[in-house]
Structure 1
Amino acid sequence: MSGGLLVVLLVLPGAAAWAGGSGDGALRMTVTVDGRSDSAERPPAVRVGAQVVKRYLLENLGEAQVYGVRVVDPGVPGGAVRCPRQRLAALGELECVARFRALPGVRLATARARGDVPSLDVLSSATARSGYVGVAGGLTLTERVSVGGGRAAVTYTVANRGNQVLHAVRVEDTALPLGPGAVDCGGRAGTVPLLPPGASVRCTATVLRPPGTHRSTGLATGSDRVPTLDAGGAPVPAPTLTARSSAAFTIPAPPGGAGVGGGSGGSGASGGSVRGGVAGVGGVGGGSGVAGVPGTSGGAGVAGAAGGAGTGAGAAGAGTAGAGTGAGGAPGAPAVPGAPAAVPGGVPQAVPPNAPPSVPRAAPTPVPPTPARTAGSVPAAPSQGVPETVPGIGDRQQQQQQQQQDQQRQQRQRAEAVPDDEGFLGRLRRRAREAHEFGVVAMLLLLLIPAAVAAALLGSRVK
């Protein structure tokens, strides 16, 4: 009896469909997003850019094994869901995992799992809906500076580019010296209470700066006050959102505000009026000037160039020699009224014919430069200028003094030009070069001295 009942049950139409417990209803899938299993009804908030972990739990409720299990989820970028390459045993479980970065906005999608049952030649499948909400806090700040009247007017534009409302957005400048309340945001001191997604607010500030180039650095801070979840399902508090901006500007100098400092005045030459005599004119590097003739006091001399000093010697008068010196406009030697003025350069003017015979004549006394001395050479005698002469008293005495000075100078130069280690023959050669009239004598001495020595040696041998 029991055997007949078993045969009847096997031939019933519905017995073949449930044989082994395999079919579309045998596979079930459950999805969790960051540890939340009810993401379809309450999608968790995830910060944009943070990691999202989706886990797909597959259960085989049938008695037949399922091969080639795969999961496709449109909510995963690129559909990157990884499943183990193994069969799903009867009444067993298998887990697939997807990891990716969160995108902004609501991301809900329906995932589908599929597998093959080769023994029954059927396809087993299951579906599940899941997702998350990507929280994007997009705070931006730009600025523009206009300059006028020595002031800089800065306009800050703060905008919400995210998908959440921003709260208590504060605008300030870290480079400009702005006091409390200097930034005006729609009638509020540097603060925007609420900034909806896609909205923007302008804030302005005016600052007085000195002429030159300056930089403004704006800073905006705020928060969306939305807590999120991390990959493990732990809560994450809302961060402080920050945005920065920067702009350079130049404050021009006011017209006529910058004065040009005057340089130090150059030194001018000073001169005195000449009364009767002429004072010495200072020359560059100590050029000689002509002193006035002794007599009435002369006027102040013309100032010489920087570093120069004029020196002049007064001519002797009435048998006595007078000397006068002038430097940089110092008073010259006394002069006789009516005497001729000396011409710069050492050439005096001629005495008029009706001048009294007691008035001496001014004569130049040029001092030649000392030539460079080299060993074994005799410096050439300096050329003497021939001044214009006019017959008068004191000419002969002045010429004698000039000749004595020239002879003393030549003797001193010759003495200085003689080297310390010069021998007898060297002195003879030098003397021969110095004076042409001693050439013959030098040659005779050079010939006779060896002959005399040879004769003395020969005579001593004969004796």
Structure 2
Amino acid sequence: MSGGLLVVLLVLPGAAAWAGGSGDGALRMTVTVDGRSDSAERPPAVRVGAQVVKRYLLENLGEAQVYGVRVVDPGVPGGAVRCPRQRLAALGELECVARFRALPGVRLATARARGDVPSLDVLSSATARSGYVGVAGGLTLTERVSVGGGRAAVTYTVANRGNQVLHAVRVEDTALPLGPGAVDCGGRAGTVPLLPPGASVRCTATVLRPPGTHRSTGLATGSDRVPTLDAGGAPVPAPTLTARSSAAFTIPAPPGGAGVGGGSGGNGASGGSVRGGVAGVGGVGGGSGVAGVPGTSGGAGVAGAAGGAGTGAGAAGAGTAGAGTGAGGAPGAPAVPGAPAAVPGGVPQAVPPNAPPSVPRAAPTPVPPTPARTAGSVPAAPSQGVPETVPGIGDRQQQQQQQQQDQQRQQRQRAEAVPDDEGFLGRLRRRAREAHEFGVVAMLLLLLIPAAVAAALLGSRVK
């Protein structure tokens, strides 16, 4: 009886303390992740980038001490698990800790703990599986702007780069004045109800802006609606995910309107017309000055359409007034300086007969002579009776000078042309300016007529 009791007493303690020995079953390990001990069956959700804390509780179920305890966990970046540098006493406990940042995805791994028992020359070990789920809500936004017709068309591309479904993603622009519903996301007003991982959606908006440089600033918001745990095991609500984009664009100014047209050609036509009466005044230089006055009545030539016709009428009227007025339209008008003299009789100079046959004979170009001017009067139009020509061989410079002189003469004629609505007083002043040549003759008449009257009276008294 006593022997049997001794055997029982020796066996029962061995069930709890391995009969004073040690082995693989003498070391046990338990792992908690952010306070959760069942992470192998239900891994906790941890936001990517948040801190993860793993605690490894080691228990020595044997009666022998364990030295050099170490833990290796593939689920820890770099395997950085810190254990205290002390022996694990028999029937004692020891805790190792690992702290690191959460990575995206499911992170389950099996950790292994080991220790040495020098007294028995054995290696004691234990394993445990643990892990977490890294929640990554990756919302991104890009945009592109195209310009045309004073409008800017903005295309926003919102994408889910995370590993969770995004809910109620909203797209708007904080810089452009977009009204409610201006952003179209696949037929919905600025909202994407569900955006799976790896998917993207395009949203468009059109805005009218004035010319200049503008900026678009897109903003996308959404949530994965996944609560997580912090390092102490406390719940953390799902945050609002935000993504931004920006783009600058320029609205060009509209093209300018049509340019202002040139001046009316009517000025050139009016400058070319000359009153025939003015040409009659030029005849005062001949014969009796008083007799030349009626020559002004030849101004009926104003009614002529062309300036040359009006001048001819004035010359004809002056010729009927008297011998002196007939010189007003004489063909002896001075030639233009620098131009060759015309052959008498109106025949233009031609190419010399001994010119070589290879030299082409150009037709002479008629050049109107410069009309004679009297002080204070409008220059008379050139006479049509005697044309003056310029040789057409090697005289390009003379022709250009002649054209410049013609243009200057026409400008003077426009400036000095008599307006049709000058009025009675204006006509008197103009006639006074035109007739200042009569001042000397009038002075002589005022002196001679009283002298003649006085001589007649004296003669009658002497008789």
* TM-score between both structures, scaled by the size of structure 1: 0.55
1:298 match: secondary structure? helix
Q: Which moved more, 1:108-117 or 1:17-26?
A: 17-26
State the Cα distance separating 1:244 from its structure 2 match: 0.5
Matches of 2:91 and 2:457, distance apart in 1: 151
Q: Which moved more, 1:181-190 or 1:269-278?
A: 269-278
* 1:45/1:263 CA distance change after superposition, 3 Å: farther
* 1:246/1:453 CA distance change after superposition, 3 Å: same
* 1:397/1:276 CA distance change after superposition, 3 Å: farther
State the Cα distance separating 1:40 from its structure 2 match: 0.4
State the Cα distance separating 1:246 from its structure 2 match: 0.6
2:68 match: secondary structure? strand
State the Cα distance separating 1:15 from its structure 2 match: 11
State the Cα distance separating 1:90 from its structure 2 match: 0.4
Superposed counterparts of 1:146-185, under 5 Å:
146-185=146-185
Q: Residue 283 of structure 2 contacts residue 326 of structure 2 at CA under 8 Å; is this kept in 1?
A: no
State the Cα distance separating 1:421 from its structure 2 match: 71
State the Cα distance separating 1:263 from its structure 2 match: 17
Matches of 1:200 and 1:363, distance apart in 2: 83
* 1:26/1:263 CA distance change after superposition, 3 Å: farther
Q: Deviations over 1:263-291 (max 9, x none)?
A: 99999999999999999999999999999
* 1:254/1:68 CA distance change after superposition, 3 Å: same
Q: Deviations over 1:116-154 (max 9, x none)?
A: 001111110000000000000100000011111111111
Q: Residue 173 of structure 2 contacts residue 217 of structure 2 at CA under 8 Å; is this kept in 1?
A: yes
* 1:127/1:435 CA distance change after superposition, 3 Å: same
Q: Deviations over 1:167-207 (max 9, x none)?
A: 00000011111000000000000000000000000000001
* 1:452/1:92 CA distance change after superposition, 3 Å: farther
State the Cα distance separating 1:106 from its structure 2 match: 0.3
* 1:23/1:385 CA distance change after superposition, 3 Å: farther
Q: Residue 34 of structure 1 contacts residue 52 of structure 1 at CA under 8 Å; is this kept in 2?
A: yes
Q: Residue 154 of structure 1 contacts residue 206 of structure 1 at CA under 8 Å; is this kept in 2?
A: yes
Q: Deviations over 1:79-108 (max 9, x none)?
A: 000000000000000000000000000000
Q: Deviations over 1:352-374 (max 9, x none)?
A: 99999999999999999999999
Aligned to 2:101: 101
Aligned to 1:122: 122
Matches of 1:277 and 1:72, distance apart in 2: 127
Q: Which moved more, 1:228-237 or 1:278-287?
A: 278-287
* 1:91/1:448 CA distance change after superposition, 3 Å: farther
Q: Residue 296 of structure 1 contacts residue 337 of structure 1 at CA under 8 Å; is this kept in 2?
A: no
* 1:77/1:344 CA distance change after superposition, 3 Å: farther
State the Cα distance separating 1:253 from its structure 2 match: 1.4
State the Cα distance separating 1:308 from its structure 2 match: 41
Which structure 2 residue ranges, 5 or more long, are not aligned? none
Aligned to 2:223: 223
1:164 match: secondary structure? coil
* 1:333/1:95 CA distance change after superposition, 3 Å: farther
Q: Which moved more, 1:216-225 or 1:396-405?
A: 396-405
1:30 match: secondary structure? strand
* 1:90/1:412 CA distance change after superposition, 3 Å: closer
Q: Residue 20 of structure 2 contacts residue 62 of structure 2 at CA under 8 Å; is this kept in 1?
A: yes
Q: Residue 309 of structure 1 contacts residue 328 of structure 1 at CA under 8 Å; is this kept in 2?
A: no
State the Cα distance separating 1:255 from its structure 2 match: 1.6
1:402 match: secondary structure? helix
Q: Give me the identity figure in percent.
A: 100
Matches of 2:427 and 2:445, distance apart in 1: 12
Q: Which moved more, 1:9-18 or 1:340-349?
A: 340-349
Q: Which moved more, 1:246-255 or 1:48-57?
A: 246-255
* TM-score between both structures, scaled by the size of structure 2: 0.55
Matches of 1:8 and 1:359, distance apart in 2: 152
* 1:367/1:337 CA distance change after superposition, 3 Å: closer
* 1:382/1:197 CA distance change after superposition, 3 Å: closer
State the Cα distance separating 1:19 from its structure 2 match: 3.5
* 1:278/1:205 CA distance change after superposition, 3 Å: same
State the Cα distance separating 1:294 from its structure 2 match: 28
Matches of 2:121 and 2:15, distance apart in 1: 17
Matches of 1:426 and 1:334, distance apart in 2: 31
* 1:140/1:327 CA distance change after superposition, 3 Å: farther
Q: Which moved more, 1:440-449 or 1:36-45?
A: 440-449
* 1:320/1:213 CA distance change after superposition, 3 Å: same
Q: Deviations over 1:360-394 (max 9, x none)?
A: 99999999999999999999999999999999999
Matches of 2:140 and 2:233, distance apart in 1: 30
Q: Which moved more, 1:27-36 or 1:451-460?
A: 451-460
* 1:133/1:262 CA distance change after superposition, 3 Å: farther
Q: Residue 66 of structure 1 contacts residue 89 of structure 1 at CA under 8 Å; is this kept in 2?
A: yes
Say what the alpha-carbon RMSD is for the aligned residues: 19.1
